Structures are given as C-alpha cells and as structure tokens.
Amino acid sequence: MVNRKLAKVSKFRYTALATILIILSAGLVLLPKYEKHEGINPEELLSNAISPERYISTDNLANRIINQDPSILLIDVRDADNYNKYSLPNAINIPLKNLLDEEFQAYLYQDAYDVILFSNDNFYADQAWVLCNRLKYKNLHVLKGGINNWFNTIINPPKPTENMPAADFELFSNRKAASMFFGVAYPEQVKKKPVEVKKAAPKKVIPIKKKKKMPVEGGC
C-alpha cells in the first residue's frame, strides 16, 4: 500500500517536471533573445511549480484589486494588441517575447510586490512564470485561467440554479458585486452610474542590486 502511494507521488512529480520542461521549451521558441542563465536547480523549480501558492484565483485577485491592495503588481504577458483591447486595472504590459529585456527587469527582479502574471489562459503566463522562477525571481504567481476565466467568473458570473446550495448563491452575490465594481451594469441599476475604477499611480519598483565582482589584485 505504501509502495503504491510512493509510486503515485513519484509519477506526479515526474509528470509535473515534464510539463514544466514542455512549457519552458515552448517559451524559449518565443524568446529569440534568450540566453542561458544560471538559476535554481530542477528540484527547487519542481517544488515551486507544485506549490499551491503558484496560482491565484480570480476571486482572490478581484478582492485584492477592489480593496486597493498596494502589494500586487499585475503583469500582462500578452501582445500589445490584446493588452490595448482589454486588460486588468493598472496592469503593466510585458509581452512574453520581451520578458527578459533589460528595461523590464526592475519590475520582475524585486521583492517589494507580489507579481501576478496573466494571459488569455494559463499557457503564456505559465511560460513566463517558469522562466522568471528559473532566474530566481521572487513572489511570482499566475492568475488561474487568465483573462478568459476572469470574464467567466468575475465579469459575467453564472447565476446558480434553484437546487444549488446556499454557498453558491453567496459566491454569485460576491461575484456580481465585483462585476459591478468593474463596470458591469445590471437591469436593476437603472439610472445608476457604474463604479469608476481609479487608475493608481505607477508603482515605484526598486530593483535588487546585483553584487559586482571585485577585481583580482596582482602580485608584486
């Protein structure tokens, strides 16, 4: 019985590692300027990947945005066209292909904010997460389900049916209130203006200073 459990755990770990390698490989194709960097070892990367803290739910993120949580930094890794059509409030656009560009490192290589990466679904955001995690960047999260799930749960939450438990109605009520905050108007809101989401001032990001190597002194 114990051996079976160990086998299941090992299988899960290898499956997760294989998934990470596939995601990373796909990411490298999209990053022509990528160069080899020394980073964390595969075991630590796997441990971070299977951690439940890797993903943040749409409900959690909506609550933090509504409460104007100053500790979050939203990064949209889609291209500029998709970003300009729609993005989350105060999100910064860093397309996946430009993720490692020097001009964006101050946003990623810091430990002052919780960095939340997102795309239309998980795919590109997962690639960004793996690459940043491999470079030992901290406080990295992925919005679970991306923009698509944001629309399906927060902007247009499904109404529960009569036979569903009370918890589902409470969740719907919270999501409906959140959608109203983000500008969705319902029939009962006649003559009421949607709540305007105030744009916060650009975050001041203080990058972590890299230690410079001291020159080797010569002999006599």
31 pLDDT band, cuts 50/70/90, is very low
What is the pTM (predicted TM-score) of this model?
0.73
Q: Average pLDDT of 123-149?
A: 92
Confidence check: pLDDT of 114 > 90: yes
Q: Which residues pair with 142 in a beta bridge?
A: 55, 117
**Which residue carries 């999100």 as its tokens?**
91
Beta strands in the chain (DSSP E): 55-56, 72-76, 92-93, 114-118, 140-143
Q: Is 93 left (phi over 0), alpha (psi -120 to 50) or beta?
A: beta
Extract the tokens encoding 3.
């051996």
Q: Average pLDDT of 161-188?
A: 92
Confidence check: pLDDT of 47 > 50: yes
Q: Average pLDDT of 195-220?
A: 58
What's the pLDDT score for residue 134? 84
Nearest C-alpha neighbor of 91 from the set 120, 64, 118: 118
210 pLDDT band, cuts 50/70/90, is low
Instruction: Give the DSSP letter string of 102-157.
Output: GGGHHHHS-SSSEEEEE-SSSHHHHHHHHHHHHTT--SEEEETTHHHHHIIIIISP
Q: Average pLDDT of 63-73?
A: 96
Q: Determine the CATH number of domain 2-150.
A: 3.40.250.10
pLDDT digits 0-9 by tens, 79-89: 999 999 999 99
Q: Average pLDDT of 152-170?
A: 95
Extract the tokens encoding 5.
């459990």
